């Protein structure tokens, strides 16, 4: 048997960041798979089902096919995605960051379910943003993650729409990555098409796109075929164009470049808009307060800083800027040092600075313990700004008591985390700042659990949020 799973998520109940194109993505892939006459069973989930319902349908589908010889399993997902804490999450319609494991599908969970069927060939096509919270590390971390993910499969093709520090784009009607997948089929001239043929078309389509870079993981001999073209499939592909998924335009109208430019331009801001965003950030940070369980134990002090002198390890962010393509209005800062063995001077990267003036450049949150048996903490946040995005970098670390009067910041365990959102989206900025608060409380809770040997609640476990 050949079986397939198609999941599309276009509406998110806890966010204003819906993805209308994802419903059309999943519908188009479902139509194509059905018209190949290749798949014996297709699980189609595309009505914004709850996470519990989605997991139930998926589990039952796997159980129903246990004991059957599976030649090929095709998995497709279109929706929000998040890579954090060394795990990729398929974000479902009722996603809650505080219940991440419960309200999303983990890639390892998908892999484990698929492995129970021992298919000869596994294909995963993932059209999702990987722009969620992630530790600063090398840009191809998600590529490495999916390379490790292929272990345990006989043969596999993983087609991923973007890197971990990028977004996957759509025009409100269709995602560009899925459209490229369909275009590869539509323009293919012979009777059969291999997965490698599809990958080649997608690679060429995005070769000059600096904002979205699909990547592929292959463990196969490149001869595996996606399908033979039936007459019904050819007719569907010949009639398909981006406007067929919308009733607002003529079905003969092609995807217009000018429309894409105008739609994308709405997400950009001028300098005045950037200053408004920074003022919004100030107000949101000023509103931060600890949950009642922690407010009895700690007192917050929030400071807005005009320079980075007191922020440790900003060199890490400078290195990120140097090593990753970006359009943030920031510059690298170098300093001259002396080699004490040779007496020679040398220049080394020491950090970064913004290219324009702002009322403040960093936010420092002091979490001061009200009791002598509890540690105090500091959370530092800096940000980079472009015309379209704002990227928050932050860390939470504890203080170490040196005496009754003195305490030093534990800089050895600083681990910068970043979260990038669209600068014109106040709701997304608010959620990013809320996530910073959540990380503070999660760090506190984990330390309290360890100190007093308390078993954490499921939603508060360390693997729910990275820090």
Q: What's the confidence (pLDDT) of residue 253?
A: 43
> In the 8-state DSSP scheme, what is residue 296?
T
Average pLDDT value for residue range 397-411: 94
Q: Phi/psi of residue 307, each to 5°?
A: -150, 175
Confidence of residue 152 (pLDDT cuts 50, 70, 90): confident
Average pLDDT value for residue range 33-45: 95
Q: What's the confidence (pLDDT) of residue 257?
A: 67
Q: Is 4 helix (H, G, I), strand (E, B) or coil?
A: strand
Evaluate if residue 335 carries a pLDDT over 90.
Answer: yes
Pairwise pLDDT comparison (14 vs 367), residue with the higher score? 367
Pairwise pLDDT comparison (117 vs 466), residue with the higher score? 117
What are the residues whose beta carbons fall under 8 Å from the beta carbon of 287, sequence distance 6 or more? none
Distance CA 162, CA 130 (A): 7
* Residues in a beta bridge with 159: 125, 216
Residue whose structure tokens are 């994802």: 22
Residue 330: Cβ within 10 Å count: 21
Helix axes 271-286, 426-452, angle to 10 degrees: 30
Q: Phi/psi of residue 37, each to 5°?
A: 60, 25
Confidence of residue 167 (pLDDT cuts 50, 70, 90): very low
Average pLDDT value for residue range 140-153: 70
Q: What's the confidence (pLDDT) of residue 248?
A: 30
Q: What's the confidence (pLDDT) of residue 246?
A: 46
Confidence of residue 170 (pLDDT cuts 50, 70, 90): very low
Pairwise pLDDT comparison (169 vs 198), residue with the higher score? 198
Evaluate if residue 141 carries a pLDDT over 90.
Answer: no
Residue whose structure tokens are 């870079």: 213
Evaluate if residue 151 carries a pLDDT over 90.
Answer: no
Question: CB–CB of 128/110 below 8 Å?
Answer: no
What whole-number percentage of the chain has pLDDT above 90?
Answer: 61
Q: What's the confidence (pLDDT) of residue 168?
A: 40
Average pLDDT value for residue range 266-289: 93
Which of 181, 183, 192, 184 shows the shortest CA–CA distance to 124?
181
pLDDT, tens digit, 9 for 90 and up, residues 57-100: 999 999 999 999 999 999 999 988 887 777 888 999 999 888 88
Q: What's the confidence (pLDDT) of residue 175?
A: 81
Q: Domain boundaries in the chain? A: 2-262, 271-464
pLDDT, tens digit, 9 for 90 and up, residues 349-363: 999 999 999 999 999
pLDDT, tens digit, 9 for 90 and up, residues 94-139: 998 888 899 999 999 999 999 999 999 999 999 885 433 333 333 4
What's the mean per-residue pLDDT of the chain? Answer: 85
pLDDT, tens digit, 9 for 90 and up, residues 214-240: 888 899 999 999 999 999 999 999 888
- Per CATH, the number for 2-262 is 3.40.50.1460
Q: What's the confidence (pLDDT) of residue 143?
A: 62
Distance CA 267, CA 425 (A): 8
Burial of 148 (0-12, 13-18, 19+ CB in 10 A): exposed
Q: What's the confidence (pLDDT) of residue 194?
A: 96
Confidence of residue 409 (pLDDT cuts 50, 70, 90): very high
State the DSSP H helix or E strand holding residue 262, giving kind and residue range, or none if neither: helix 257-265
Average pLDDT value for residue range 136-158: 69
Give the residue ranges of DSSP H helices in 308-425: 315-323
The four Cα atoms 4, 171, 213, 124 give a dihedral, to 10 degrees, of -10
What whole-number percentage of the chain has pLDDT above 70?
Answer: 86
Evaluate if residue 241 carries a pLDDT over 80.
Answer: no
DSSP 150-200: TTT-SEEEEEESS-TTS---B-SS-BHHHHHHHHHHHT--SSEEEHHHHHH
Pairwise pLDDT comparison (314 vs 264), residue with the higher score? 314
Pairwise pLDDT comparison (8 vs 165), residue with the higher score? 8
What are the residues whose beta carbons fall under 8 Å from the beta carbon of 10, sequence distance 6 or more? 18, 19, 20, 21, 22, 23, 48, 79
pLDDT, tens digit, 9 for 90 and up, residues 443-458: 999 999 999 987 654 3
Pairwise pLDDT comparison (20 vs 143), residue with the higher score? 20
Confidence of residue 142 (pLDDT cuts 50, 70, 90): low
């Amino acid at each position: 048997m050949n079986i397939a799973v198609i999941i599309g998520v276009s509406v998110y109940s806890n966010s204003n960041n819906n993805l209308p194109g994802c419903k059309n993505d999943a519908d188009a892939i479902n139509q194509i798979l059905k018209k190949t006459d290749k798949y014996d069973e297709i699980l189609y989930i595309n009505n914004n089902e709850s996470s519990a319902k989605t997991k139930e349908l998926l589990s039952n589908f796997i159980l129903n096919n246990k004991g059957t010889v599976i030649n090929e399993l095709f998995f497709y997902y279109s929706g929000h995605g998040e890579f954090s804490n060394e795990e990729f999450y398929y974000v479902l319609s009722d996603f809650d960051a505080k219940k991440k494991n419960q309200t999303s599908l983990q890639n390892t969970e998908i892999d484990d379910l698929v492995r129970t069927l021992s298919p000869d060939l596994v294909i995963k096509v993932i059209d999702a943003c990987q722009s969620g919270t992630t530790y600063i590390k090398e840009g191809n971390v998600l590529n490495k993650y999916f390379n490790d993910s292929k272990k345990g499969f006989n043969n596999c093709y993983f087609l991923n729409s973007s890197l971990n520090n990028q977004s996957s784009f759509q025009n409100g009607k269709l995602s560009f990555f899925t459209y490229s997948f369909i275009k590869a089929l539509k323009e293919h001239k012979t009777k059969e098409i291999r997965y490698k043929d599809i990958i080649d078309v997608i690679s060429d389509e995005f070769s000059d796109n600096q904002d979205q870079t699909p990547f592929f993981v292959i463990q196969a001999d490149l001869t595996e075929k996606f399908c033979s073209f039936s007459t019904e499939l050819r007719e569907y592909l010949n009639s398909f164009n981006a406007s067929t998924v919308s009733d607002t335009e003529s079905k003969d109208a092609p995807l217009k470049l000018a429309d894409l430019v105008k739609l994308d331009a709405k997400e950009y801001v001028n300098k005045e808009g950037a200053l408004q965003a920074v003022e919004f950030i100030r107000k949101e940070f000023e509103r931060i307060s600890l949950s009642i369980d922690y407010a009895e134990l700690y007192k917050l002090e929030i400071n807005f800083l005009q320079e980075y002198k007191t922020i440790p390890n900003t060199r890490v962010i400078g290195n990120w800027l140097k090593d990753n393509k970006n359009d943030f209005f920031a510059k690298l800062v170098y300093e001259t040092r002396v080699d004490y063995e040779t007496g020679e001077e040398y220049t080394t990267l020491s950090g970064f600075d913004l290219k324009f003036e702002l009322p403040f450049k960093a936010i420092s949150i002091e979490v001061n313990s009200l009791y002598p048996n509890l540690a105090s903490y500091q959370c530092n946040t800096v940000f980079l700004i472009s015309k379209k995005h704002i990227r928050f970098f932050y860390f939470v670390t504890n203080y170490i008591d040196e005496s009754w009067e003195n305490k030093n910041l534990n800089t050895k365990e600083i681990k910068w985390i970043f979260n990038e959102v669209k600068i014109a989206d106040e709701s997304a900025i608010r959620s990013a700042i809320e996530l910073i608060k959540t990380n503070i409380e999660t760090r506190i809770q984990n330390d309290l659990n360890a100190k007093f040997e308390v078993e954490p609640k499921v939603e508060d476990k360390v693997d729910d949020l990275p820090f």
